[in-house]
């Protein structure tokens, strides 16, 4: 079996690009666990997406990526690219403990239908 070289992972690889479809984001989360993980902005502050999964809740083409769609079961639903929906199961603010989606939502003021999640600006390691 032959080996291949891959580029070294860097901190900026963790930044979520919400224009990607939910399956791609889910694969990135699994590939980048535990480091560098996936990081998004939520309400202007960094949020590490610890556990995510694609949801079978398609959005129409008019919903912009990063829009908070509400709580579906125990999952925060966020619009991703190509009309797909990504479910956030566990999230973590810097310096805080990891929370499941319902506990996180109790402490945050997220408005359904608003673009609450954004791609953080690229930062050098």
pLDDT, tens digit, 9 for 90 and up, residues 76-89: 999 999 999 999 99
24 preceded by a cis bond (ω within 30 of 0): no
Domain tally, the chain: 1
**pLDDT tens digits along 111-123:** 999 999 998 886 5
Print the domain residue range for 46: 14-118
Asked if residue 74 has pLDDT above 60, the reply is yes
> Does residue 96 lie in a domain region?
yes
> Does residue 124 lie in a domain region?
no
d(CA 31, CA 48): 15
Q: Do residues 66 and 117 make contact, with C-beta atoms less than 8 angstroms apart?
A: yes
> Does residue 77 lie in a domain region?
yes
* Mean per-residue pLDDT over the chain, rounded: 92
Gyration radius of the chain's alpha carbons:
14
> Does residue 57 lie in a domain region?
yes
């Amino acid at each position: 079996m032959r080996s291949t070289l891959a580029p070294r992972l860097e901190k900026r690889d963790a930044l979520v690009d919400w224009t990607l479809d939910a399956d791609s984001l889910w694969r990135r989360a699994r590939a980048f666990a535990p480091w560098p993980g996936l990081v998004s902005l939520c309400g202007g502050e960094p949020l590490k997406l610890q556990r995510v999964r694609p949801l079978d809740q398609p959005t129409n083409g008019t919903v912009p990526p990063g829009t908070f769609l509400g709580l579906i079961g125990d999952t925060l639903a966020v619009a991703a690219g190509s009309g797909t929906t990504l479910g956030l199961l566990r999230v973590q603010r810097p310096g805080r403990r990891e929370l499941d989606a319902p506990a996180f939502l109790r402490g945050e003021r997220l408005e359904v239908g608003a673009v609450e999640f954004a791609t953080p600006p690229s930062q050098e390691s």
